[in-house]
Amino acid sequence: MHSTLPVRAAVAPATLPRPHPLAARVARQVRARFVAAYLTIDPRSLAAGRISLASVLLLDLIKRWVQIGSWYTNDGLVPNHTQLWRPPFAHVITPFNMLSYTYEATIGFAICAVVYAALLFGVRTRLAQVASLACVLSLHGRLLIFDNGGDVVLGLLAIWTVFLPTGRRFSVDALVARGAPRPRVVSLGVLALTCQLAFIYFFNAVHKNGATWREGTAVHYVLHLDRLATPLALWLRARMTPGLSRVMSWSALGVEWSLPWLLVCPFATRYTRRIAIAFVIMLHAGFGLFMNLGNFVPAMIAYTPNFLHGDDWDALERWWRRGAARVRWSRGFVARADALVFRARRWFSLGRTIRRAPPGLAISAVLRRVPVLREATCALFIFVAANQLLDENWMAHSVWDHHNAPPVAAAVTYLNLFQGWSMFAPDVSKTDLNIAVDAVTADGRHVDPWNEWANPKYPMPGASIPPGMGPSWLFYQYVTRLPWYPQYNQAFLEWVQRYPERTGRKEDAIVSFKVYKVEDDSPEPGKTEPTNPRATLLIEYPSH
């Protein structure tokens, strides 16, 4: 007996609707445009950006090194026990908090110098990038409460470039590799770098909605901030007219408004980025001529090489090849560099032949996943920075009243991913500020240990603020924080009492002193002299 099974009718598999050819072509073009505009960068631009970043890091290190006793030792203004006992931030990790003496801090600075030099020349560039980021976070973390915008943007530049291969060109690594570098780099790090610079200018511009910017008096008041004014600012403010102030104020604001759109424009990026680079350099060169802003000016300019278009590099190379002398020089330089690399290899090998064993299967599997892990980590950093951008900028709160969750807030502080951009906003301050110390020595003289150290040209300002003090940005930041952070009063008191140790004279022993917060109001447009000088007692020794 045979059983018969029912025969099933063949059913055609369900077919998905095919996308319209025009829509598919548009989608491909949009994707290609997005990748080209926001995710792609020339390796030569990355290399130039690496050199710029390392140069500014070394400049920052030197500026701090000459003041190492004031800021990184227990004999200075911010001893480590004060930082650990009353930390201004809850989530900061820095090895410099473990260093108490000058020689200890000097060793730390020397390590940072070696790391920054390795980044500058592109020696083990990947490792140097990570180590440089750790160094800058450690150096700045020790004085995080006194950081200014320049310190923040410098740290952010180190963060976003750590995800990019900056050593493929113009580096010792590139000489050793001897391979043809890939013509372009595609990474989320490029998007982060572009958006970071664009948001800095966008929020700085959108927050400048006060009367001084609307009326065009902002530059007038900036020039009369003696704690920031340079000698050129003193010269210009004596000749400043209301009309010139309006032109300069509105021009600066117009440049800040234009830069975000020039940076993120997806069309004609070769030309928009060129204009953006020129605007950034002109804007910050102007800032640097008239204001002492610490790292802010060189750090912002250090972003610009990363936005050079590949066509610009090609044009530069064609121009270089047209000069026979330049070609001979470059060939001779490459030959000498090759010889130096060969000698270094022989010296480090100590006469032995070094054979690099191929990685095992497990290590090879990990190495294949490194690019994916790197991009995932970059995406996580972008998420944290975006949350901080919404949390820290008050104009963003008018759109979405966002506040960071505790883990995100901790990550922001650990990584210095601060995103509050409101320089001279919403208005330029019309009040100038300084600290004055009236100290009596053992032989009856009145001295001012603070201003002798921070503003040596004006050792005894008394109850007035001298024109163009021009202190280091760390001293300036310290003045703006001390009146509102009383946990540093005891350290300041002890620092003043160590005055004879700094001068080397026993007769300079301090028997009593008073510390004042000194203020005055900047003159109105058309006038030149400050008004309403006043002094507020902050610290008194012996206390009464």
In a 13 Å sphere around the CA of 263, the CA atoms on its Cβ side amount to: 27
Give the lowest-confidence range in 76-85, 206-215, 361-370, 484-493.
Answer: 361-370
Q: What is the pLDDT of residue 52?
A: 98
> 454 falls in which pLDDT band (50, 70, 90)?
confident
Tens-digit pLDDT profile for residues 174-209: 888 876 667 789 999 999 999 999 999 999 999 999
- Residue 422 CB contacts under 8 Å (≥ 6 apart), including other chains: 203, 204, 207, 393, 394
More confident residue, 323 or 433: 433
Cα–Cα distance for residue pair 38/193, rounded to 1 Å:
9
Cα–Cα distance for residue pair 231/238, rounded to 1 Å:
11
Tens-digit pLDDT profile for residues 344-371: 555 654 444 545 556 555 555 554 667 8
351-359: long-range contacts, CB 8 A cutoff, minimum separation 24: none
Cα–Cα distance for residue pair 429/226, rounded to 1 Å:
12
pLDDT at 464 > cutoff 80: no
Question: Averaged over 362-390, what is the pLDDT?
Answer: 83
Question: Averaged over 433-444, what is the pLDDT?
Answer: 92
CA dihedral 313, 319, 323, 327 (to 10 degrees): 20
- Residue 11 CB contacts under 8 Å (≥ 6 apart), including other chains: none
Cβ(519)–Cβ(489) under 8 Å? no
Q: What is the pLDDT of residue 350?
A: 46
Q: What is the pLDDT of residue 77?
A: 94
The three-state secondary structure class of 469 is: coil
Tens-digit pLDDT profile for residues 214-248: 999 999 999 999 989 999 999 999 999 999 999 99
Number of H helices, E strands in the chain: 24, 6
Question: Averaged over 116-126, what is the pLDDT?
Answer: 96
Average pLDDT taken over every residue of the chain: 88
More confident residue, 456 or 507: 507
Q: What is the pLDDT of residue 369?
A: 65
Identify which of 315, 248, 316 has the alpha carbon closest to the alpha carbon of residue 282: 248
Q: State pTM to two decimals.
A: 0.90
More confident residue, 335 or 352: 335
| 336 phi, psi to nearest 5 deg | -65, -40
pLDDT at 544 > cutoff 90: no
Order of strands, sheet of 531-541, starting from the edge strand that comes earlier in the sequence: 446-447, 431-441, 510-521, 531-541
DSSP assignment of 105-139: HHHHHHHHHHHHHHHHHTSSHHHHHHHHHHHHHHH
pLDDT at 143 > cutoff 60: yes
Largest Cα separation within the chain, whole Å, is: 129
Q: Report the range out of 140-149, 300-309, 311-320 with the highest average pLDDT.
A: 300-309
Q: What is the pLDDT of residue 3?
A: 47
pLDDT at 9 > cutoff 80: no
Task: Classify each residue of 371-397 as buried b or exposed e, where b means 16 or more C-beta atoms within 10 Å of its C-beta.
Answer: eeebeeebeebbebbbbbbbbbbeebe
Q: What is the pLDDT of residue 468?
A: 78
More confident residue, 45 or 83: 45
More confident residue, 58 or 294: 58
- Residue 237 CB contacts under 8 Å (≥ 6 apart), including other chains: 220, 223, 224, 229, 528
* Residue 409 CA, distance from chain mean position: 19
> 86 falls in which pLDDT band (50, 70, 90)?
confident
pLDDT at 398 > cutoff 90: no
